[in-house]
Structure 1
Amino acid sequence: MKTTYLKLGLFAALLIAGCSEDNGGCNCVLPPPEVIYSVEFANGNESLEAGDTILIDNKQVIVERIQFYLGDVIAKQGDSSDILIRDVEFFSLENAPEDNQFIRTLAEGNYTGLDFSVGINEMLNQGNTAQWNAGDPLSTSNNMYWPMGGYIFSKFEGRLITDTVISVIYHIGREANRRDLIFDENFSISGVNNVVISFDVQKLFGADGGTSINPATQNETHTMNDPQLASIIADNYANAFSVTFPQ
């Protein structure tokens, strides 16, 4: 992601350098504006960090890990000219904030919303993992891949504090558990812009319209061992996202 900043800066500098005062003005075509896409983690109305304790149905859960893929990120223009911004990105609660964002240019103008999926498309899911370098979102160094089952689309790992400590582990994968999200809202791009994608851990456990999950009795799925719970969590994951667009 830091490389993206450098390339965009050099590109802009070259364009500006090519504008000469001798020709009576600048007729250069400036690069399109930058858009910073950031993922933020929340616990209801509060921010969330790894190691925080949250309350789920008055039960204390220590959140240790939240990770997921967002795929096929598309800026919508209301017609067939929708723009694919990114085919896949990987996000983690444990990352520094600057590592939970990516930057792309987007032409100035009006847009009608943003689409993305929780998970990756079938072609990438069935691809050869050896082609990806360590810094790539699809690198197996992220520990988001089952050799016999494809990519893990999302993870939640934590501990339920009761008389004993119960591990809470949700690893969700398989094509049936990819969820496509649509966020319809008109917005405009000009200058530097920010799109904030928020993930609320309370909604993962069923708040605000999801299916309630009891971490004491529904505390583990690696998808194949409990596909029904995996499907519920995949639905709740989709419900946990919201988007704030440029104003």
Structure 2
Amino acid sequence: MTAALARAARSVLRGRLRSPEDVLAEVVAAAARAVPGADGAGITQVGRDGRVSARVPSSSWVAELDRRQADLGEGPCVLASRIALGVDEMSTVVQVAGHDQVIEVADMAVTGRMRWPRWAGEAVAAGVGSLLSFAMAPPEEPGSALNFYARETDAFTEVSVLAGEAFATQTAIALFGARRAAQMHRAMQSRDVIDRAKGVLIERFDVDDDQAFAILVEASQNTDAKLVDVAREVSTQAQRRHH
């Protein structure tokens, strides 16, 4: 643990600390380089509200194609994300035999246009020949898909599918890690806000730490506001009084 803390400290001091999103981007970029036939990769996600988002594309043209799927609400990556979410079923037109969570569009100009005419037309115009998409369902994450784009038609092989599945597993782990890191960051921020508010109350009402916290909890219950929001308001009011 001491060595790990020392390494982390050196990373911070040297400005080399990677964010969870940086780690996720590195995994996707490595996948784009390693999967046979792939010319680019990215992630799409579909929340339970149906909203589609794109993350960490390996290049600008992948970003645009993912964004257009989100805008149109259609495409193989959207379908894979919905399958991961459990709100859609695999189409036999694009199903990969022996792989329940993998979508393949071998010829975007033919199969793609049959299934998603609007988006596939744009993909073909952008020079995309084929695509592989892997449905993922990381814990507590929206339905997600790791997607590989190729310029050539029939670019992907069984080796591509197996390699893509391995990277999809790593990506799902990275997504889960990013969510946990974000939760921890929010929790730390909330604790700091609450600690500052307790300090204000201790000084103002001459109470101890436990009593200050109880005051915040009581105010939260009485106003039906989150504890951290009450604490933030206490600190804000104290700052105003001092100016």
TM-score by length of 1: 0.27
Answer with 1 or 2: which has the greater Rg.
2
TM-score by length of 2: 0.28
More strand by share: 1
More helix by share: 2
